[in-house]
Amino acid sequence: MTTTDSTPSPNFIRNIVAEDVRVNKNEGRVHTRFPPEPNGYLHIGHAKSICLNFGLAAEFKGLCNLRFDDTNPTKEEVEYVEAILSDLRWLGFDWGDRLFYTSDYFEQLCEYAVRLIKDGKAYVCSLSAEETREYRGTLTKPGKDSPYRTRSVEENLDLFQGMRSGEFEDGSHVLRAKIDMASPNLNMRDPTIYRIRKVAHHRTDDKWCIYPMYDFSHCLSDSIERITHSICTLEFEDNRPLYDWVLDELNLDCHPQQIEFARLNLSYTVLSKRKLLGLVEEGLVNGWEDPRMPTISGIRRRGYTPESIRNFCDRIGVAKRDSVVDMALLEHCVREDLNKRTPRVMGVLRPLRVVIDNYPEDQVEELEAINSPEDPGMGTRKVPFSRVLYVERDDFREDPPKKFFRLGPGREVRLRYAYYVTCVSVVKDEQTGEVIELHCTYDPETRGGWSEDGRKVRGTLHWVSASHSLEAEVRLYDRLFEKANPGGEKGRADFKTSLNPNSLETLTSCRIEPSLAGAAPGSRYQFERLGYFCVDSVDVSDERLVFNRTVTLRDSWAKIEKQQK
RNA sequence: UGGGGUGUCGUCAAGUGGCAAGACACAGGAUUUUGGUUCCUGCAUUCGGAGGUUCGAAUCCUCCCACCCCAGCCA
């Protein structure tokens, strides 16, 4: 559990709910719901809504339902409902026995529609989609009444029954609410509430060929479930009068309050199902679970913890203004969590061979290493040391710049938990001039990395024993987009043009310390000095270790180096 | 140029007539066998702008400006 779980920060929705409870509105009940449409995978933006809805219910000892808003069979699939269910469980939320589907209510919804027709509040309109658009008017010009608006109740009842029983083709008729074609709010210009779709539904199959629209079904589903606070995003503000209209006209005793908040935007990525689906369909990423995706399943595979995501959602707040949260905050949250919980381990991403000239050929020492400086309770392990090692290529410079504390010709550094070593010579490839091997000497008096004489070394390097280390593949992930706001830029440029071509770098010859043999899929480690990594949960096998880099460690040397340029 | 919303630090965000919280980021410094972690310090005399009310305004009033959403038989 994270420390912030119990201290929610104030926000306007919480204030509304707290006040409602205080004055005993809804008999003091708090009942929210999370209502995804199963037309894609959940992303971090949904996590904000999930944490808000479930969090409010928990805080005020209420309930939160899970409801699949499955009213459009052309876009929805069981694959998505299953993915959503497993993402929600992984995030750590529990809806008890309150898993619902709007499709559960199709019969009841249909009865409500009939009631509206009988009350003269709805009519069957036989305009084509295009004609409907023309009749609707524009932002500045009022619409015109449909010629079908004055059909009799009997005729409407008959036609709607015909729609339901499959007598008509898709698009030939719709059921519309009779409100006001001159309303300045376009949503109130006789909105469509039922349309014909002769398409199999993932749950009701071909039982229905008419499906209710969002504006009709959502408020009614909320009311049926006796929801008290119906929380949605800002773009539904204009739909609120319609939400209220339906419930008022039907005179329902349970009339939930719709409250809107700003959806999450995150820098360097996009959070829209449509755009994410585009990336998946065009093969620009490897599916919804690609570790670069801001989807819950992508983030999970990347190595994030549910706790870090929930903590992030608590920290970003809830408000009505459009905003873009810095990706650095998400990264901070996962580092904070992983720092406390992961064991440290040594792995060399880009190996450079090092021979310790004065170390006996056949000798191997088992050196003790601490598993976590954050938690001594995690104990220690043995790491083998021998004459031939690998260190990180980045840790050697033939011509070290200022403030470079690592290895260079003639320099002495500490090998973590091992010895002080001094670089005595450099072997280069005759053709390319590339450094391919270092020769060092070690000081036997510094075993464990301490020196009796108190002399100091500036740098401590991670390393592995060449013959004992394991080969591994490591995937380094970076931001998916180069632009901070790829979705929200002005102008016409396609968001995909700012995709980061270097968002994935695969390293195949990495060397990992032997304690990682058989590491479980999904298990997380800190590779010292490099970052947090997890064993990939998809591409694993007995003979192959694959790691995903969740996030780098903060790197103040990188900043210094950048400043020097 | 219809309607609905929103403007508080680089980025989020509290604040609802009485001294502008906090977090991230950033910049310094201390500790450190991870250039990690941790710790300390600094970082909005001013709240989109201009007027007004008031002893007192980010909060109330007036006007203006900017940005976001709405013309699916999507949600």
Query: Is residue A319's pLDDT more than 80?
Result: yes
Q: What is the pLDDT of residue A487?
A: 75
pLDDT, one tens digit per residue, over A471-491 is 999 999 999 999 999 976 655
Q: Which amino acid is at A137?
A: G
**Residue at minimum CA to C1' distance from nucleotide B8:** A321
Q: What is the pLDDT of residue A493?
A: 66
- Are the beta carbons of A50 and A264 closer than 8 angstroms? no
The whole-number Å distance from A138's CA to B1's C1' is 13
Beta bridge partners of A261: A233
The catalytic residue positions of A are 37, 263, 273
Q: What is the pLDDT of residue A3?
A: 35
Q: What is the pLDDT of residue A2?
A: 33
Please compute the mean of the pLDDT values over residues A183-207 and round it to a whole number: 98
**Residue A180 burial (10 A CB sphere; 0-12, 13-18, 19+):** middle
Please compute the mean of the pLDDT values over residues A188-197 and round it to a whole number: 98
Which phi and psi angles does A531 have, rounded to 5°?
160, -170
- Percentages (nearest 5) of helix, strand, coil residues in chain A: 30, 25, 45
> Residue A280 to residues A17, A83, A505: CA-CA distances in angstroms?
39, 15, 19
Q: What is the pTM of this model?
A: 0.96
Query: Is residue A536's pLDDT more than 90?
Result: yes
Q: What is the pLDDT of residue A1?
A: 33
Nearest to A64 by CA among A26, A92, A33, A20: A33
Q: What is the pLDDT of residue A7?
A: 56
Pick out the nucleotide with least CA–C1' distance to A133. Answer: B71
Neighbouring C-alpha atoms within 13 Å toward the C-beta of A535 = 15
3-state secondary structure of A224: helix
Please compute the mean of the pLDDT values over residues A346-350 and round it to a whole number: 98
CATH code that applies to domain A347-469: 2.40.240.10
Asked whether the domain spanning A347-469 has the same topology as the one spanning A12-266, the reply is: no
Beta bridge partners of A527: A345, A531
Q: Rounded to whole angstroms, how far apart are CA atoms A528 and A490?
A: 42
Q: What is the pLDDT of residue A562?
A: 87
Please, what CATH class does the domain formed by A12-266 belong to? alpha beta
Pick out the nucleotide with least CA–C1' distance to A264. Answer: B12
What is the residue extent of each domain of chain A? 12-266, 273-343+472-564, 347-469
The whole-number Å distance from A184's CA to B4's C1' is 10
pLDDT, one tens digit per residue, over A266-309 is 999 999 999 999 999 999 999 999 999 999 999 999 999 999 99
- Are the beta carbons of A304 and A338 closer than 8 angstroms? no
Q: Rounded to whole angstroms, how far apart are CA atoms A80 and A288?
A: 10
Pick out the nucleotide with least CA–C1' distance to A449. Answer: B33
Q: Rounded to whole angstroms, how far apart are CA atoms A517 and A523?
A: 12
Chain B bases near protein Cβ (<7 Å): 1-8, 10-16, 21-27, 33-38, 67-75
Give residue A329's pLDDT band: very low, low, confident or very high (50, 70, 90).
Answer: very high
Q: What is the pLDDT of residue A202?
A: 98
Thinking of the domain A273-343+472-564, which architecture would CATH place it in? Beta Barrel (2.40)
User: What is the ipTM, given to two decimal places?
Assistant: 0.97
Q: What is the pLDDT of residue A249?
A: 98
3-state secondary structure of A52: helix
What's the Rg (C-alpha) of chain A?
A: 31
What does the mean pLDDT of chain A come to? 96
Q: What is the pLDDT of residue A489?
A: 60
